[in-house]
Structures are given as structure tokens and as C-alpha cells.
Amino acid sequence: MVSCPPVPWGRKFKSTFGRDPVRLTPSLALVGSLQFGISGPFDSHVYALKGPAGIVMIDVGAGTHTEQLLDNLRSDLMTDAVKALVLTHCHLDHCGGAAGVRKRTACQVIAPQLSRSVLETGDEEACGLRSAREQGTYPPDFRLEPCPVDLGVADGANFEAGGINFKAIHVRGHSEDMFCYWTHFNGHNWLFTGDAVFYGGVLGVINVRGSGMDGYRSDLRKLQGLAVEGLFPGHGLMTLKDGQKHIDRAIEQVKKGFLPPQVGQGGLVL
């Protein structure tokens, strides 16, 4: 799971964080997160953007607290009219609730084309759930409910969701199907990085098949020059300012032949 330093934003929180969603901007909220205690105990960060055509969710958690996610949407953004769910990759803590949210909201599901067959068949071997259960990360009865994918995106694809334009960027290293999503939203450049790159230039290499530095050596440079202001990873801290410097820190380390910090170090554990 995840341990993390205190939240750096101006809003005050109860020491337990309660179950309140976290408003980051007038049109962006964190509506799910295991580490902030606002949804289920296996959930990645779940972001909700209020676009001109409705709500866009970025990732969806493991699926144990779907009603809580929707309640958080209603209490913070005053609507649960989810028009699109955009998934970064098919690890359970990010995608497990996709089928439940789709059933409740009739939203469009957008995912990497590489993830499509895994999500649609509920392939627990390919998404790493079987090995994660064996490691004790998830309970023995955890399952991935199959979910139809309405749009599969490829590297470099531009697509629209909820009236917001996104660019899909394939960055292998955490997993073979790991995608980041860049958008110029309300006058700012934002990047949703899933488990590719974290605050502080931390990379997401984990000890599972399909994860390793080979992918990062090939793909991390795709994230340079994006002028990212808001950096929104799938775990840990996020920032609304100077997000690019965290990405560039990792890129420069790789260029020099060094290994940037990895998850599992410094208290950040997925």
C-alpha cells in the first residue's frame, strides 16, 4: 500500500482525513484514495475533472467502494454524471472498479489499447492480480470484473472526453500498458501519470513481470518539454505548480546513467 508525507495544500484536514473528497481546484477533485482515507483500502488516487460536457474520472480504484466514489462526486462537484472514465493501466488498484462505475453511470470507458483485452476478459494473470493475491497484497477472494472498453487509445493519440481534450503518452517501465494523459485544461498544462512518474521524480519499477528500467530508458523522454504545471500521479503527493521539474529530475538521472528513486524507497510503497 502507500505511506505518504502530510498533504501540502492549504485546506485543513482532520487527522484521520475522514471520508471527504479533496478539492484541488474549482473543477478538479480527488474523490478516491487509500492513503487519504477517502475511499477503499486498495484504491489508487481517483481524480475527477468537471468538463464542459460532464465529469471525467481518471482511474477508478479497486472496486470495493464504488458507491463512496460516487457519493464523493456528488458532495464535492455536485454531480455524479460521469461521462467518461479514463484508465492509465490495468493494475487492480486503478481499474478494478471500472465495471461498477460503467454500470451505474453508463459512462464511456477509455483505456490503453494494450489494456483492452485484459479489461474486457477480466484476465487476472495478465493484470497481475493472481500474483498479487499470492503475495498477500489482495484478499484471496478478490476478482477483476470484466468491463467493456469503448475506446482503446494508442501512443500519441488525441481524444476528447467530457468536452476535454487529452493526449495519450505510452510510458513503459511500471507496466507494459502504462499510459500518461496530458491536457491543457482551464489555461493550465496538466499531466496524469498513473504509476509512471511520481512527485520528486520517483519512478514506478516494481518486482513483477513487465516492469523494469528498459521501458523507462526507451519511453521516459516522451515526457520532456511538456511544460507540465499540474502533476497528478496515482499515489503519493501531487502538485499544481512546476510539475515538469519532477519529471525532468527523473529524465536527467536516466540520461546520466543513474537510477532515479523508485517506489519502495523513502516510504512510498504501492
For position 244, which CATH number holds?
3.60.15.10
Residue 3 lies in a domain: no
Query: What pLDDT does residue 5 have?
Result: 32
Q: Is residue 198 part of a domain?
A: yes
Is the whole-model pTM more than 0.85?
yes
The three-class DSSP label of residue 182 is strand
CA-based nearest residue to 80, from 15, 34, 32: 32
pLDDT in tens, 127-160: 999 999 998 999 999 999 999 999 999 999 999 9
Q: Report the pLDDT averaged over residues 23-50.
A: 96
Handedness of CA 109, 157, 201, 48 (dihedral sign): negative
* Cβ–Cβ < 8 Å for 98, 84: no
In a domain, 9, yes or no: no
Does the pLDDT at position 13 exceed 50? no
- Asked if the structure places residue 262 within a domain, the reply is no
Q: How many helices and strands, by DSSP H and E, does the chain display?
A: 7, 14
133 domain-assigned: yes
In a domain, 263, yes or no: no
- On whether residue 8 sits in a domain, the answer given is no
pLDDT in tens, 88-112: 999 999 999 999 999 999 999 999 9
What is the share, in percent, of the chain residues with pLDDT greater than 70?
91
Domain of 183?
22-255
Residue 268 domain-assigned (yes or no):
no
Query: Alpha-carbon distance 209 to 30, whole Å?
Result: 30
Q: For residue 36, report the phi and psi dihedrals to the nearest 5 degrees.
A: -95, 0
What mean pLDDT value characterizes the chain?
91
Among 50, 52, 1, 55, which Cα is nearest to 24's? Answer: 50
What was the pLDDT predicted at 270?
Answer: 53
pLDDT at 116 over 50: yes
What is the number of structural domains in the chain? 1
C-beta separation of 211 from 173 below 8 A: yes
Taking alpha carbons only, the member of 223, 153, 228 closest to residue 185 is 228
pLDDT tens readout for residues 163-205: 999 999 999 999 999 999 999 999 999 999 999 999 999 999 9
